[in-house]
Structure 1
């Protein structure tokens, strides 16, 4: 073990870590959910966890973010999720060689601090590690770095989104996310974090030479070229630069809002939904809070089965369930570390499970599940224009038809597409009709949408990537969007007036 200089070690410990068939309603369903709800509200581990003192986790005080050209310090985790009592490995490279430390932080509300530092590793020895060549057939980049440190997750840790922060003696820092699940207790809501989409956008190393994502590679001049993109991506590599995935902030906004308002939540990942580690039917609702494009057939079947059972689904982003992917193990048999999305047909890697193209091209349009589907990239943020203001989603917001809520339609948008399959036998409503100019050209209309099944399940789709920013982002928070979101979640879990307040609480 390398011993750190006393001054640096103390600084790290004291300051540096700051951081389809829907069935009929069962008469007992409402009573069961009400009883379940009372139990959840009185014993929510995440609500208790947020009473602890927190501290910001990023940007670190005095720290310098690593970059992909010099790769001062970077790392990745051996799993996207882990349960208390299980272990997770961290693989870290340091350039030049030298001591480093890993700190673990849970992201949440914590009275506005945003995170809590859970523990720090001992002093560790770091050395440079190579960037492996891309697989010539698939373009996948997969590292085989040795294990730097193993964490056994303490039994008492609350479910949540965690960050491992890697800090060198010279003050360079990077991070990687992972989720702690709760496999023992079924929270009212389970937040499913879109790790497949995070990795699809990961261009590591973003050095204008070798990096590849499912979108681009680099040509000989260093320019991004979609013709040189990867068809498969691996989780055995860092996220680009300092380690925060693309679109990660959208999930973070939703998490802070959910925990600030006292919802009984637990957390899982796309791969947990894919593998069955997450049983959606144990929860009253699933929340897909960010940009969630990449779905395997197993994920979609699990969500549809849960909906048929009466579990609600809330999609806080847009462009959800867009690409159909194939998940496979690594060459040495580790599951849920590689997924493919060729985006072309024929698919050169098709193993008989079907091509990896858009779900609508595979004749299963996302609108059949969500009620709306992706219709464009928003050239510049536009207001969300209210429709069906009398609907229960807008109750208590004070809106009228035609009201404009600024900057909510942003990033990407969904709309109701004519002559495309829609949910049948449901009570549906279009909650907004917002004109915008698409980056692809032309004028389009964004729609927020909700429907309820005969079993009482709710499916809500915001239809915009700007929604979670309106929940939490300074300068963009909007009380009408907060209240509408609370109305949806409260309907999903049937929270009683004696529980956590329906209206969003202001800090």
Structure 2
């Protein structure tokens, strides 16, 4: 440990090692002078004003047409340009407050720029097109050149109408975009925005799941050129109108990013679309899949295979991941990554994939066996809920948790998960149990870890709800499904996560 001007300075590796054998592991701006960009960013003043206050959904609850918008692409680098399309109906003035989400002393976000006031107009709701797609062709409302000093992160733009007369109500919703970068980093957090869009029912119950021919076939497509409506296809999982416009980020991924930034992990962010090539992720020590990560272009799959072979640690803190091959195609606006559709299941010749194709095909493409990448597979039934039950408490991932065999974390499994562990040398099942679909139909899930080819490892938590055990940020609501719910932050989930991340980045 070096000393300078009477002040202790420690490097990141020493700070991480300080957590070994000392009970609940901790690394946070409050107790270390580690100077990585995330710690420096989170020392800046935050604000809780990023949260929506007044939202009025339309009668069908799939949109909020009083003010809504979308961005020209899913992610953008610092120095790049992003177009923002906004509709206000009735036409009225509005502003856009841009916030970077993080920890910021517990406030959850920092205001980085305000755009406006702007003169709003009502923009045309699109008619359905090929594959039942509903794709906007709205005029650009504002163009944002991303400042060079904006750190990678998930950014929310809060749209707020500006009434002409004092005392009249204002209305709000979000736009969302990701700022990505190319710097070497410990952790790359992949947002599951393909899945957010697949479940997005804007403008009036139109998603990949609502085609008249059925919910599981290749006949429906969706476009990123439209606002995010209500959070989820399934209103009985999270019924939160104060997340309009944010996809599934606030509900299923936000508690993880908040946790990472609270504890000073050196993290950068990317969209699913950024993973069509492996280049950015090869500059990370650990790749994270978080939340509900169901839809992957085959190029994403091959990229993550490359990460494994090159020695990057893969951590799937997610459920129902790598389930459907979802090729990117070009939107009307010219975004080559602007549309997705369901081309077929992952699973090679496994029963799950074969039965999906038999029941819902024919599909144009069958994906490889996701179990050989993730360690476990998508199974039937895949919907349900249960407790996360420990089967191998002596494993290093449980160090300093006090966990014993048979101990469980209530409600952490749901609403979708993985099972059917692959036959991979060195694979260990660290937790397993039964999830119940509707409280009646059983399904066996498994959480696994196995060694990669270059001293790296692959872990799969096997649940969408893992992040719920890490933190409870401002603006976040606990989900529930199938008569089952997680309980929120749990010291054991936090410690397991610290153990895995520490191992991955040292």
**Alpha-carbon distance in structure 2 between the residues aligned to 1:319 and 1:358:** 22
**Which of 364, 370, 382 pairs up with 2:386?**
382
Judged with a 3 Å threshold, the aligned counterparts in structure 2 of structure 1 residues 378 and 470 are, in CA distance, closer, same or farther, namely farther
The size of the alignment, in residue pairs, is 431
> Any idea what the Cα deviations from partners look like across 1:308-360, whole Å, max 9, x if unmatched?
00001111111111101111122453321111215589xxxxxxxxx99899x
Match of 1:492 in 2: 504
Counterpart secondary structure, 1:402: coil
Judged with a 3 Å threshold, the aligned counterparts in structure 2 of structure 1 residues 157 and 487 are, in CA distance, closer, same or farther, namely same
2:411 equivalent to 1:407: yes
- The TM-score, its normalising length taken from structure 1, stands at 0.79
- The TM-score, its normalising length taken from structure 2, stands at 0.79
Q: Is the 8 A contact 1:397 1:480 kept in 2?
A: yes
**Which of 36, 39, 54 pairs up with 1:47?**
39
> Any idea what the Cα deviations from partners look like across 1:396-427, whole Å, max 9, x if unmatched?
1111111122111121121135xxx543x4x2
> Any idea what the Cα deviations from partners look like across 1:104-157, whole Å, max 9, x if unmatched?
01111111111111110121011111111111x311111110000011111111
> Any idea what the Cα deviations from partners look like across 1:23-44, whole Å, max 9, x if unmatched?
xxxxxxxxxx979x99xx9542
**Alpha-carbon distance in structure 2 between the residues aligned to 1:363 and 1:331:** 27
**Alpha-carbon distance in structure 2 between the residues aligned to 1:134 and 1:302:** 33
**Alpha-carbon distance in structure 2 between the residues aligned to 1:168 and 1:292:** 33
Q: Is the 8 A contact 1:248 1:290 kept in 2?
A: no
2:160 equivalent to 1:167: yes
Q: Is the 8 A contact 1:408 1:464 kept in 2?
A: yes
**Which of 195, 203, 206 pairs up with 1:205?**
203
Match of 1:116 in 2: 110
Q: 5+ residue gaps in structure 1?
A: 1-32, 220-224, 346-354, 495-507
Question: Which aligned pairs between 1:342-421 and structure 2 lie closer than 5 A?
Answer: 342-343=343-344, 362=366, 364-376=368-380, 381-417=385-421, 421=422
Q: CA deviation at 1:218?
A: 7.2
Q: CA deviation at 1:230?
A: 5.8
**Alpha-carbon distance in structure 2 between the residues aligned to 1:378 and 1:227:** 14
Counterpart secondary structure, 2:308: helix
Q: CA deviation at 1:275?
A: 4.6
Judged with a 3 Å threshold, the aligned counterparts in structure 2 of structure 1 residues 460 and 195 are, in CA distance, closer, same or farther, namely same
Judged with a 3 Å threshold, the aligned counterparts in structure 2 of structure 1 residues 181 and 363 are, in CA distance, closer, same or farther, namely closer
Q: Is the 8 A contact 2:326 2:342 kept in 1?
A: yes
Q: Is the 8 A contact 1:139 1:229 kept in 2?
A: no
Q: 5+ residue gaps in structure 2?
A: 1-11, 18-32, 164-169, 231-243, 347-356, 473-477, 479-486
Match of 1:437 in 2: 436
> Any idea what the Cα deviations from partners look like across 1:268-307, whole Å, max 9, x if unmatched?
110000155x522111111111210111111011100111
**Alpha-carbon distance in structure 2 between the residues aligned to 1:106 and 1:215:** 31
Question: Which aligned pairs between 1:293-312 and structure 2 lie closer than 5 A?
Answer: 293-312=294-313
Q: Is the 8 A contact 2:384 2:439 kept in 1?
A: no
Judged with a 3 Å threshold, the aligned counterparts in structure 2 of structure 1 residues 143 and 340 are, in CA distance, closer, same or farther, namely same
**Alpha-carbon distance in structure 1 between the residues aligned to 2:385 and 2:439:** 15
> Any idea what the Cα deviations from partners look like across 1:343-388, whole Å, max 9, x if unmatched?
589xxxxxxxxx99899x8262211111112235677642211111
Q: CA deviation at 1:446?
A: 1.8
Counterpart secondary structure, 2:500: helix
Match of 1:181 in 2: 180
